[in-house]
């Protein structure tokens, strides 16, 4: 579902201090994949258009070992999307998805990967999830992305990809906490919205902390 939340009516010129962060555009998050996000396949070409505008482009991959604890299959009598809370996991359990080295965890074949400057894999630790591209769900293990961006002089990050209420949400919040100005490109992301209401809460929390929502057309080519 597209969230109609763009709250910036401004035009944005991309400069060298800006980074594009393309989150988890992997077959498993597309319709037909193991953890499908409705409309996930609709945003790829528009994201491709933006890549040449940025000097720094990060592409992330959800990259789980088999039997990862975020999977319902790793718990007795649990089904995908069942509510579940444990340190570093939840609020739901997931279908098995994005298993390291499989086609479903690769970048979607239509994504233009040649100009990606950094590929970042997350969710690699067996017992803990990593929704954020900056910090694992223990809230202390860094992925190193903040350091990479800062060493390249990045001040503003533009986020797009999947899923709006999970990886984008936690990444946007951490992005602000690490001192970046964070823009979510509203029409180049889609949400899981599980459990119901998760998207609404994620959107209001992001707005409260100062995440800016823009549409692709606000970015001047
Ligand atoms: C994601 C659920 C589980 C995401 C990853 O990329 O938003 N969501 N793993
Ligand atoms: Zn995952």
What is the pTM assigned to this prediction? 0.95
* pLDDT for 144 beyond 80: yes
Average pLDDT over residues 156-172: 98
Q: Which of 122, 129, 165, 216 is catalytic?
A: 122
* pLDDT for 110 beyond 50: yes
Q: If you take atom 3 of ligand 1, which residue's CA is the nearest one?
A: 94
- What is the edge-to-edge ordering of all strands in the sheet holding 118-122? 118-122, 56-62, 18-23, 156-162, 181-190, 212-214
Closest atom of ligand 1 to 167 CA is: 7
Tens of pLDDT, residue by residue over 173-218, are 999 999 999 999 999 999 999 999 999 999 999 999 999 999 999 9
* pLDDT for 133 beyond 50: yes
Distance CA 72, CA 37 (A): 18
Strand intervals (E) in the chain: 12-13, 18-23, 56-62, 118-122, 156-162, 181-190, 212-214, 219-220
pLDDT for position 221: 79
Higher pLDDT, 6 or 72: 72
Closest atom of ligand 1 to 29 CA is: 6
Helix 198-209, helix 169-177: angle, nearest 10:
20
Q: How far is the CA of 129 from the centre of ligand 2 (A)?
A: 7
pLDDT for position 10: 80
Task: Provide the mean pLDDT of the chain.
Answer: 95
What does the domain layout of the chain look like in residue ranges?
18-65+96-220
Segment holding 150, helix H or strand E = helix 145-151
In Å, what is the CA distance from 68 to each residue of 117, 127, 164, 199? 28, 6, 22, 24
Distance CA 179, CA 156 (A): 9
pLDDT for position 1: 42
Q: Is 167 among the catalytic positions?
A: yes
| Residue to substitute in 121, 131, 168 for testing ligand 1 pocket (most ligand atoms within 8 angstroms of CB) | 131
Q: Which of 167, 186, 193, 216 is catalytic?
A: 167
pLDDT for position 2: 42
Band (pLDDT 50/70/90 cuts) for residue 27 is very high
| Residue to substitute in 130, 166, 184, 193 for testing ligand 1 pocket (most ligand atoms within 8 angstroms of CB) | 166
Angle at 149 between CA 144 and CA 153, to 5 degrees: 145
Q: Are 163 and 53 in contact (CB under 8 A)?
A: no
Q: How far is the CA of 95 from the centre of ligand 1 (A)?
A: 10
pLDDT for position 7: 57
Measured over the CA atoms of residue 123, residue 161, residue 1 and residue 33, the dihedral's sign is negative
pLDDT for position 196: 94
Q: Which fold has domain 18-65+96-220?
A: Rossmann fold (3.40.50)
* pLDDT for 67 beyond 80: yes
Average pLDDT over residues 2-31: 85
* pLDDT for 8 beyond 60: no
SS3 category, 74: helix
């Amino acid at each position: 579902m597209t969230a109609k939340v763009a709250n910036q009516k401004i035009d944005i010129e991309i400069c060298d201090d800006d980074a594009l962060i393309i989150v988890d555009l992997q077959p498993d998050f597309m319709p037909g994949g193991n953890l499908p996000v409705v409309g996930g396949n609709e945003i790829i070409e528009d994201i491709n258009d933006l890549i040449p505008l940025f000097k720094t482009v990060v592409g992330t991959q959800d990259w789980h070992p088999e039997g990862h604890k975020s999977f319902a299959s790793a718990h007795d009598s649990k089904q995908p999307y069942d509510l579940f809370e444990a340190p570093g996991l939840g609020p739901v359990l997931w279908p098995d998805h994005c298993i390291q080295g499989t086609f479903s965890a690769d970048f979607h074949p239509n994504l233009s990967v040649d100009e990606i400057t950094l590929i970042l894999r997350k969710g690699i630790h067996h017992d803990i999830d990593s929704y954020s591209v900056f910090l694992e769900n223990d809230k202390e293990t860094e992925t190193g992305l903040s350091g990479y961006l800062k060493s390249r002089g990045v001040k503003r990050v533009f986020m797009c990809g999947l899923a709006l209420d999970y990886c984008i949400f936690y990444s946007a919040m951490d992005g602000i906490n690490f001192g970046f100005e964070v823009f979510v490109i509203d029409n180049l992301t889609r949400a899981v919205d599980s459990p119901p209401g998760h998207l609404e809460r994620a959107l209001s929390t992001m707005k409260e902390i100062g995440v800016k929502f823009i549409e692709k057309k606000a970015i001047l080519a």
